[in-house]
Amino acid sequence: MESLLYVGVGGFLGANARYLLSLGSNHVLTPLLGNFPYGTLVVNVAGSFGLALFGIWFGARTGLSPQLRLLIGSGFFGAFTTFSAFANESYILADDGRITLFLLNAMLNYGLCLLGVAFGILLGSRLFGAA
């Protein structure tokens, strides 16, 4: 039961962080670059990077509680990133006949999230000496 509390607190923080970053990203990028689901892309890339970096940091330290992993890894980053919003926005783009934007959204989310993980692992390995 205690584990649920840690995941829940982390999830509350992650969901609110996602909402604020997504809102801000859309507010800044849409007027500059046109209508596109920037907010979801930004939070998914940032979350992929952050979770990888946290995983390396956590793995490099002994004595850290498993509750911290639940709070940050499962809770915060689980709620921060959003595959369901990505899938829904992609479907809407395709359904609206905006196939180029649909494909761009899919390629950017998958590609940049994988790069985010790779960069998080690389940076974490250099900063914390573990891989």
pLDDT for 129 beyond 80: no
Asked if residues 53 and 123 have their Cβ atoms less than 8 Å apart, the reply is: yes
Asked if residues 91 and 85 have their Cβ atoms less than 8 Å apart, the reply is: no
pLDDT value of position 65: 87
pLDDT value of position 130: 60
Inter-helix orientation angle 83-95/38-59, to 10°: 150
Of 99, 97, 115, 95, which is closest to residue 41 (Cα–Cα)? 115
What percent of the chain is predicted at pLDDT more than 90? Answer: 85
Q: What is the band of 131 on the pLDDT scale with cuts at 50, 70, 90?
A: low
Residues 102 and 48: their CA atoms lie apart, in Å, by: 21
pLDDT value of position 97: 97
Domain spans, the chain? 2-128
- Note the pLDDT tens digit of each residue in 20-67: 999 999 999 999 999 999 999 999 999 999 999 998 888 777 677 889
